[in-house]
């Protein structure tokens, strides 16, 4: 065995005390030609050759699991207790053979073995099993039994399957859209019969306080094999999206936790490791269209109050025309039939507000300003990804009309601001009595091309608290500008607003 040189630099006067440890070499194999772990508690016997072992040596055990569904990847799972490398002969000399034993077991136990408690270790899955033995010595010598060369296999599989509305397994989730109805089917190996579990599904993004949104949660008493599926809808209320993925994230990710419970209770089973994993990832919906246009008022759409003053030119067009806000989200599931069921409509709420834009100042020092129009925001329902609603300026009071008319000579135009309803889905934040929820950052829920500095003056301008801002902060998205003649122009980001 090669010895690595060690260099120690000393001063004019010095002393070095060295305690030498021999390098230990191990090579372990399962004692049985082949063994499958299919019980919640199994004993594994590993033995083999060794060099420079005089007495029992404590060690750390890490199991190496390779799933039969994905042999290219592996998981490393620490054993729940320390192990001990035990020399097999008792001649008081350097041993040539050894075995792995559970720490605390009787030294003379025969045969030496390690007990694997599946729930305590969290050793879940179906596939091959290897291990790594790391000696608790300064030399950190270790031995690796790879899963590919081991004769150990395991069948303690638990997990969740995604089914479509035809009860067919969904293997590739990349094509799923927000609003898609899916069925989640828990799958358990027979070894878990008569166990009780709680399954939680939640959006992965965390809130500012580190807390996650309320999960979609249910409890099962297991028999064996697959159990009944649970139907749910991806996104927002269905999987309780809590809007904390961040503006730059392109996907909404949902994870799951399977926790074993005490029999007959909803309390976690002591010394049991929950299983966590990723259920699915879907692309965020994307705002592809949002515009404001001048349209003729529908027949019969007249204000109730006939005593209102008419608009002066050029705003007199609003005596017979309205401003119509409309838009579309891509990546939203649409209603359709399947052979066994119907994909329901996926709807959610948005609010649209109207603003007036005008120029302030004289000559070349003109500065754009904006003020909200004195009309309540329109609450709209997005259905099949589309939404639309009208602003009727004829509903303005006489005072509001005069205020608007005073801006008529200042290059007056209008734009709409789109926001998500604060009632949307399940909120992660905890509100005090009487406190209003904070606006939802738009890009945390849906993606869009943002008109920001450096973006080339394209896309939608983000807004927050009536000021232009960046995509990562904007709780609103602005439409184009439209003036009283019906001319539409882009609304550029301007930090002076």
* In-domain check, residue 9: no
Question: Looking at residues 234-253, what average pLDDT do you find?
Answer: 61
Mean pLDDT of 433-453: 80
Same domain, 274 and 377: no
Residue found under tokens 């404590």: 58
Q: Which pLDDT value is given to residue 207?
A: 43
The better pLDDT of the pair 223, 308 is held by 308
DSSP string computed for 232-249: EESSTTTTT--S-S-TT-
Q: In which band, very low, low, confident or very high, does the pLDDT at 293 lie, cut at 50, 70 and 90?
A: very high
Whether 496 maps to a domain, the answer reads no
The Cα 357–Cα 373 span in angstroms is 10
Both 318 and 445 in one domain: the answer is yes
Residues sharing a CB contact under 8 Å with residue 325, sequence separation 6 or more, in sequence order: 290, 291, 292, 352, 354, 378, 388, 389, 390, 391, 416, 418, 479
Question: What pLDDT sits at residue 496?
Answer: 44
Better-predicted residue by pLDDT, 372 or 229: 372
Separation of alpha carbons 121 and 161, rounded Å: 23
Q: Where does 33-130 have alpha helices with state H?
A: 118-121
Residue 208 has pLDDT above 50, yes or no: no
Q: What is the CA radius of gyration of the chain?
A: 34
* Same domain, residue pair 134 and 191: no
Torsion, Cα of 73, 78, 80, 83 (10° steps): 120
Of 312, 466, 477, nearest to 402 by C-alpha is 312
Q: Identify the residue with better confidence: 109 or 420.
A: 420
Answer yes or no: do 171 and 150 share one domain.
no
Q: Are residues 393 and 274 in the same domain?
A: no
Average pLDDT (296-311) is 72
Residue 167 vs residues 189, 335, 340, 476: alpha-carbon distances, Å? 20, 18, 9, 39
Residue 490 has pLDDT above 80, yes or no: yes
The distance from CA 488 to its chain's CA centroid, rounded to whole angstroms, is 39
Domain-located, residue 15: no
Residues 74 and 168 in one domain: no
CATH of the domain at 206: 2.60.40.10
Let me know if residue 106 belongs to a domain: yes
Q: Are residues 119 and 206 in the same domain?
A: no
Kindly report, residue by residue over 260-290, the tens digit of the pLDDT: 998 888 899 998 999 988 888 888 889 999 9
- pLDDT at site 327: 96
Mean pLDDT of 61-90: 84
Rounded Cα distance, 165 and 341, in Å: 6
Distance CA 474, CA 449 (A): 13
Instruction: State the pLDDT at residue 136.
Output: 87
- 16 within some domain: no
For residue 466, count other CB atoms closer than 10 A to its CB. 13
Domain boundary among 154, 187, 203: 154
pLDDT, tens digit, 9 for 90 and up, residues 81-93: 888 888 876 555 6
pLDDT score at 240: 43
Is 429 part of any domain? yes
Is the pLDDT at 474 greater than 50, yes or no? yes
Q: For residue 306, is pLDDT > 70?
A: no
Percentage of residues of the chain with pLDDT beyond 70: 77
Q: Is residue 475 located within the same domain as residue 336?
A: yes
**Predicted pLDDT of residue 413:** 93
Verify that 114 and 100 share a domain, yes or no: yes
Cβ partners under 8 Å of residue 277, min gap 6 = 159, 160, 255, 256
pLDDT at position 483: 93
Cis ω before 147 (30° cut-off from 0): no
Residues 210 and 303 in one domain: no
Reduced to 3 states (helix: H, G, I; strand: E, B; else coil), residue 336 is strand
Query: What confidence category does residue 232 fall into, taking pLDDT thresholds of 50, 70 and 90?
Result: low
* Partner residues linked to 330 by β-bridges: 286
Q: For 175-196, what is the mean pLDDT?
A: 84
Looking at residue 492, its pLDDT comes to 74
CATH number at residue 85: 2.60.40
Q: What is the pLDDT, as a whole number, of residue 143?
A: 85
Q: What is the pLDDT of residue 428?
A: 47
Between the ranges 227-241, 356-370, 381-395, where is the mean pLDDT highest?
381-395
Pairing type for strands 75-78 and 488-489 reads unpaired
Q: Pick from 178, 208, 187: which is nearest to 281 by CA?
A: 178
Which structural domain, as residue segments, surrounds residue 300? 287-489
User: Is 257 inside any structural domain?
Assistant: yes
**441 pLDDT more than 80:** yes
Task: Show the tokens assigned to 100.
Answer: 């792995």
- What burial letters (b/e) apply to 214-237, b meaning 16+ CB within 10 Å? ebbeeebebeeeebebbebbbbbe
Tell me, what's the pLDDT at 249?
A: 72
Q: Which residue has the tokens 């992660």?
A: 428
Of 284, 308, 343, the residue that ends a domain is 284
Statement to judge: residues 448 and 368 lie in one domain: yes
* Distance of alpha carbon 177 from alpha carbon 215, whole angstroms: 20
State the average pLDDT over residues 115-129: 90
Judged by DSSP in three states, 395 sits in: helix
DSSP helix/strand/coil, 210:
coil
For residue 212, pLDDT over 50 is answered with no
CA-closest candidate to residue 84, choices 101, 64, 106: 101
Of 106, 133, 154, the residue at which a domain comes to its end is 154
pLDDT class of 170 with cuts at 50, 70, 90: confident
Q: Among positive and negative, which fits the CA dihedral 62, 65, 71, 74?
A: negative
Can you tell me whether residue 300 is helix, strand or coil? Answer: coil
Please give the tally of structural domains in the chain.
3
Are residue 343 and residue 408 in the same domain, yes or no? Answer: yes
Q: Could you tell me the two tokens for 310?
A: 């008419």
Domain-embedded: residue 13: no
Q: Which of 366, 360, 354, 371 is CA-nearest to residue 417?
A: 354
Sign of CA dihedral 3, 8, 13, 15: negative
335-356 burial, b at 16+ Cβ within 10 Å, e below that, comes to eeeeeeeebeebebbbbbbbbb
């Amino acid at each position: 065995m090669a010895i690595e040189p060690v260099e120690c630099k000393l001063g004019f006067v010095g002393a070095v005390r060295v305690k030498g440890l021999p390098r230990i070499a191990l090579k372990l194999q399962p004692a049985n030609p082949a063994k499958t772990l299919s019980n919640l508690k199994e004993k594994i016997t590993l033995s083999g050759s060794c060099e420079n072992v005089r007495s029992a040596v404590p060690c750390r055990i890490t199991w190496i699991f390779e799933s039969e569904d994905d042999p290219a990847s592996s998981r490393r799972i620490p054993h729940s207790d320390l192990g001990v490398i035990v020399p097999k002969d008792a001649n008081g000399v350097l041993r040539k053979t050894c075995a792995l034993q559970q720490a605390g077991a009787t030294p003379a136990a025969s045969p030496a073995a390690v007990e694997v408690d599946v729930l305590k270790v969290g050793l879940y899955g179906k596939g091959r099993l290897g291990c790594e033995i790391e000696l608790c010595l300064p030399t950190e010598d270790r031995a690796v039994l790879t899963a590919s060369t081991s004769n150990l296999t395991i069948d303690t599989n638990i997990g969740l399957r995604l089914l479509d509305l035809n009860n067919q397994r969904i293997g590739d989730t990349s094509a799923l859209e927000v609003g898609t109805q899916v069925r989640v089917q828990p799958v358990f190996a027979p070894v878990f019969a008569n166990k009780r579990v709680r399954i939680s599904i939640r959006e992965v993004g965390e809130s500012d306080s580190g807390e996650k949104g309320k999960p979609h949660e249910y409890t099962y008493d297991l028999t064996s094999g697959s159990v009944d599926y649970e139907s749910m809808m991806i996104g927002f209320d269905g999987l309780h999206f809590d809007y904390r993925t961040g503006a730059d994230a392109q996907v909404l990710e949902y994870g799951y936790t399977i926790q074993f419970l005490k029999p007959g209770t909803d309390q976690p089973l002591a010394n049991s490791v929950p299983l966590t994993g990723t259920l699915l990832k879907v692309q965020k919906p994307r705002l592809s269209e949002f515009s404001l246009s001048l349209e003729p008022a529908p027949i019969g759409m007249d204000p109730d109050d006939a005593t209102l003053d008419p608009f002066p030119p050029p705003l007199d067009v609003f005596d017979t025309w309205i401003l119509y806000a409309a838009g579309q989200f891509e990546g939203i599931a649409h209603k359709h039939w399947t052979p066994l069921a119907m994909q329901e409509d996926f709807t959610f709420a948005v609010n649209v507000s109207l603003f007036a834009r005008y120029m302030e100042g004289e000559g070349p020092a003109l500065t754009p300003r904006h003020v909200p129009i004195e009309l309540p925001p329109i609450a709209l329902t997005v259905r099949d990804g589309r939404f639309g609603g009208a602003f009727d300026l004829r509903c303005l009071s006489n005072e509001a009309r005069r205020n608007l008319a005073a801006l008529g000579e200042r290059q007056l135009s209008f734009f709409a601001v789109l926001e998500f309803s604060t009632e949307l889905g399940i909120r992660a934040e905890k509100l005090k009595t009487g406190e209003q929820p904070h606006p939802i950052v738009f890009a945390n829920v849906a993606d869009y091309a943002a008109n920001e500095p450096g973006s080339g003056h394209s896309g939608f301008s983000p807004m927050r608290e009536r000021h232009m801002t960046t995509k990562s902060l904007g709780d609103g998205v602005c439409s184009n500008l439209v003036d009283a003649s019906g001319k539409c122009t882009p609304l550029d980001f301007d930090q002076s607003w």
